[in-house]
Structure 1
Amino acid sequence: MPINHDDIEPELSNAQEAFRRGGQTPEEGLDVSSADLVQLRKACRLLSGAERLLEDGYYTLTIEAAFTSIERTLLFWLITEGHHDPSQPPQSHTTAINRSAEVGFITDEVATELEDLWNENRAHTYYQDGMATDDRADTMVALADEIHSQIINLVGQSHECICE
């Protein structure tokens, strides 16, 4: 028998309502008004969270957060430099990678390698039968951290970084 509406009520309605209403307490550090800083701060929180998850042995979540931190950090740069309209959500998880290459911020080689890493490994680990390991998670956090550091230093916004 399929799950129907009654099986997941009131939880479904509560979740829908939580996303509709305003006035809630935002996540620490995300209460900024500019779209680029929202993306930077999300990247910081994702990276900090990935490091904590890694320490606690949650490798699948660590890999997911590290990839998403890379995506948010690139999106921060794209918005900051006027290459992305923040009112238009990215079409996929690799949109920020591809757009960064299109405007010459990263090389085509780096874009291809990042996209391949995303498609072949992140998707395989998350959705298929690939196993998340401590080494895979650790190397992804290191990559996300390096990309994050490079970008905030290039933009001169390290003072806005809230990474722990």
Structure 2
Amino acid sequence: MIESSFVAIERTIQFRLLHDGAMAPEEISSSHHRLYQRGAAAGLDDDRFGEELAELWNQNRTKTYYRLGIATEKQAEVMHQLATSFHHHLVSTSRVKHESICE
């Protein structure tokens, strides 16, 4: 759930950057931190939020993905809620809302 939540957040940022013309398809990078910075630079969120996402990624996703720690059910639920809220916010403020089929 934690991995999927980060993927959802990152794909939503990429969606907006691409559709807003702030990123070209060939610029998509696998760097999580760079993507969060690009989102902040484009005004999708602020620098603080991007830094907090990067810290969450370091503390939660990396540890659980590489089995350096075990996530709790509560961590997974909170990350899912964050991803869902963030996705809905960015899609609802987009000019291309129809591109998302999420409910």
Give the TM-score normalised by the residue count of structure 1: 0.58
- The alignment covers a number of residue pairs equal to 103
- CA drift of 1:103 comes to 2.5
Among 47, 56, 76, the residue aligned to 1:137:
76
Higher relative contact order (CA 8 A, sep 6+): 2
Runs (4+) off by over 4 Å:
none
The match for 2:2 is 63
Tell which structure's C-alpha radius of gyration is larger: 1
Counterpart-to-counterpart distance in 2, 1:82 and 1:157: 12
**Pairing 1:29-108 to 2, within 5 Å after superposition:** 62-108=1-47
Q: Distance in 2 between matches of 1:124 and 1:135?
A: 16
Tell me whether 1:117 sits opposite 2:56 in the alignment: yes
Cα deviation for residue 128 of structure 1 reads 4.0
Residue 47 of structure 1 is matched in structure 2 by none
Contact persistence 2:63–2:69 (CA under 8 A): yes
Q: Contact 1:71–1:94 (CA<8 Å) still a contact in 2? A: no
1:13-48, CA deviations, whole angstroms, 9 ceiling, x for partnerless residues? Answer: xxxxxxxxxxxxxxxxxxxxxxxxxxxxxxxxxxxx
Identity %: 39
Offset, 1:119: 1.3
